[in-house]
Amino acid sequence: MNVRLLYLIYNQLFLMRLLHFCAMKRNCPTIQELLAFDAIARYKSVTDAANALCITVSAVSKQLARLESFMGRPLLEKSGRGVRLTPQGMTYWQKISGGLRAIETATFEFWADTSDAGLLTLASTPTFLTKWLIPRLPDFRQQHPGITLSFSQHLGPNENIPAGVDAAIRYGSGDWQGVVAEYIAGKEFVVIWSPDLLPGGEAIKSPADIAGKTLLHHEEAPSAWRQWAVQHKVTEIDTLAGPRFAQYSAAIQAAISGLGIALAPRVLVLDELAQGLLVSHCGEPVIVDQGHYLCCRPDRQETAAFSAFRSWIRAECAK
């Protein structure tokens, strides 16, 4: 056996061992395998998944087979003419689908941001977003046509602003760590109720008339009713009793439906008051120590998109 042949054999054995080592080190499926699995899970059909991915049925089947081989167990099973996830497959898909959607969103946002300064990714409390911000966004777009707003999932009370989010509208006292927080609206609370709540000639004309009525509470403003009662010198009501809601939108809808009397930021019920769905003529508003704040990551504070949005929302809230 000559030296050249020995070299070739040695080189081949080395490459095989290297490939085996790399395969053993890989602990994550390829993106092609995951996309094929995700498409099959969503469409419940290999054929429809192939059409959605613009590849052949054979290619989808191969990617799925590789994924199942990598995972060491089946992820799909036949169901009539289609397929369905196995219980283990369903659990796995629920855990990875959010990450895949995040990748898609980041890619779309990257494509949209052609100016490197025209995209602002914003998280917002749901009620403020739907009831106040979105109805006013056409004005923002008219003033700043080059800026694209992208909305992310709202943040929890103790959650930091993630790297993919530039700014957030949050509800609280404004003392979040690691962000620049500026109060914009929401500290002025008013009592609201449905005009159909009270039967016959009964009416609420003064703060004392609240006694005996069901009070509706927001989980993040547990002391608001007590503060209102102290301000209006009302002692006959239990300021802790009554249903509690995680979102102001739910508390407002409960008031509209006649479930009770709510205490909510006036900025969130302007439309309902104007339309007569709610009434609020019971004492002066109470100013609480919580509100809606525009929070920004320090490294995004000076960007053109954030600066424009900050100036616009401050002007809108001041109207």
99: containing domain = 3-111
- Residue given tokens 């949209």 in the structure block: 112
**Is residue 57 domain-shared with residue 204, that is, in the same domain?**
no
**Is residue 95 domain-shared with residue 147, that is, in the same domain?**
no
**Is residue 245 domain-shared with residue 256, that is, in the same domain?**
yes
**Is residue 145 domain-shared with residue 167, that is, in the same domain?**
yes
| 275 vs 155: which has the higher pLDDT | 275
Opening angle at CA 243, ends 223 and 285, nearest 5: 45
**Would you place residue 249 in the very low, low, confident or very high pLDDT band (cuts 50, 70, 90)?**
very high
What tens digit of pLDDT does each residue of 71-100 get?
Answer: 888 998 888 777 889 999 999 998 888 888
**Is residue 192 domain-shared with residue 268, that is, in the same domain?**
yes
**Is residue 169 domain-shared with residue 152, that is, in the same domain?**
yes
**CATH assignment at residue 125:** 3.40.190.10
Question: Can you give the pLDDT at residue 8?
Answer: 46
Other beta carbons within 10 angstroms of residue 48's beta carbon come to: 16
CB 248 within 8 A of CB 218: yes
Number of domains the chain contains: 3
> pTM for the full model?
0.62
